[in-house]
Each structure stands twice: as C-alpha cells, then as structure tokens.
Amino acid sequence: MKRETNLQKLLNLLGDGEWHTSKELSKITWRFGHTIHEGRNKGYPIEKRQVGHNQFEYRLSPSYFKSLKVSYKSKSASVVSS
C-alpha cells in the first residue's frame, strides 16, 4: 500500500471547501508553503486570505468543485484519488 503524500494529505484537508489556518496545515507538514506551491503547479486552485497580522487561511477554490460537478460540502468526496 502506498503512503499518502503530503500533497494528498493537504488536498484532503482543504477538500471540504472550508478555510483552514496555517496552524492546521502545519500539522500535515511544517513546509506547507512548499506543498501549496506544488499543488498550484499541478493545477489545484488553492486560495489564501489574510485574517490577521501575519495570519492566513487556505482553501481549495469553490470553482474547483464546480469543475468536478461535486459539492465541496460533501465530507465523503475525496479530492485526490490514489
């Protein structure tokens, strides 16, 4: 069985369409900025917003889910297939 990559873990977290803090993302990998960059390079529309001084939140863009024709509120839908 293949081990889940950091990108897969990140996309599964962001796959609920909700905003997630840097603290949440750092639990997946301390270099989450690199993993976000990797995801964007692969075409995943990862959004970032500032919520405080030097505090940011991230999510997968709702447009991504529209292109898949699935609801991003669905907890059972997986963003990344293995």
State residue 34 phi and psi, 5-degree precision.
-65, -40
Give residue 3's pLDDT: 85
Q: Residues 2-59: pLDDT tens digits? A: 888 999 999 999 989 899 999 999 999 999 999 999 999 999 999 999 999 999 999 9
Residue 21: CB atoms within 10 A of its CB come to 14
pTM: 0.75
Q: Structural domain boundaries of the chain?
A: 14-65
Residue 81: pLDDT band (50, 70, 90) is very low
Give residue 80's pLDDT: 52
